[in-house]
Amino acid sequence: MLPVASASVWSRPITSAQLKYALSTIRGLKKMKDAGPFIYPVDYIALGIPHYPNIVSHPMDLGTIEKKLGGGPKMEQANYPPYNAVDEFIADVRLVFRNCLTFNGPDHVITQMGKNVEEAFNKALKNMPSPEEVSISWTCSYQRYKRGHQIKPPKLMKKPGPVRRPSAAGAGPKREDSYSINRPKREIPPPRDTAAILQPSKRRKYRSEAHAEQLKFCQTILKDLHKKQHYSIAYPFYTPVGASNARLFAMTTV
């Protein structure tokens, strides 16, 4: 059963607004709790019903309809021909629930679940945009734009003419104003940051002094380690470790 609009309206080429609405409707039906058995194609081998193809000659599911509407991965859309009209989309949705009724019978639980999903689909079809609504809204918006904006013909760009040289006739010396001659020249002050750049900042000086004190402390520690009282335990670390030094140290420690 088609919606309120006549069947001839839904047989017209499907518009982008209708395609978008149909895709959102299918995605909404898939989220229903009763739509689980109708989302994917029936796997009659896994379900143990090998006679399913003998009863249902044209299987259909909501996932396949979504791909025919342009949903899903783009690589898979080439295997599913798109809908040319709204009535083709409606016929496929009806086919899903008709196949369920044919195979399971009217009293089966899955058939009752299909009826709930089909009722939701019938309610959604009442808001399906028709081609007349799209054309009327576009015409009204165009007329409104035409009334508010006067359409003017495009302006033609003028070609630039040849460049004329300034004539030298009548050219005399430039007149100089007495005020501009007697006015003293302004001195440009040096930039404010010059003194700050040339003189080292107090923060840099403080950091250098602290660094020097740290180095001095480290030198004091090294001198203490080279004293005779620490020689017996610190002498292996006075020189870089080499092959000869390693053997000598091994002989002395045995």
Tens-digit pLDDT profile for the chain (254 aa)? 554 455 567 788 899 999 999 999 999 999 999 999 999 999 999 999 999 999 999 999 999 999 999 887 776 667 888 999 999 999 999 999 999 999 999 999 999 999 999 999 999 999 999 876 554 444 444 455 445 544 454 455 555 666 666 655 555 555 555 555 566 667 776 665 555 555 555 556 656 777 788 888 888 888 887 887 777 777 778 778 765 555 555 555 54
Domain presence at residue 119? yes
**Same domain membership, residue 127 and residue 212:** no
Q: Which of 109, 132, 155 is the last residue of a domain?
A: 132
Cα(209)–Cα(212) distance, integer angstroms: 5
Domain of residue 106, residue span: 7-132
Q: Which of 115, 132, 149 is the last residue of a domain?
A: 132
How many Å is the Cα radius of gyration of the chain?
A: 46
**Same domain membership, residue 227 and residue 122:** no
**Same domain membership, residue 128 and residue 12:** yes
Domain presence at residue 16? yes
Domain presence at residue 34? yes
Cα(33)–Cα(99) distance, integer angstroms: 19
Nearest residue to 40 (alpha-carbon basis) of 58, 26, 61? 61
Domain presence at residue 187? no
Q: Which of 111, 132, 153 is the last residue of a domain?
A: 132
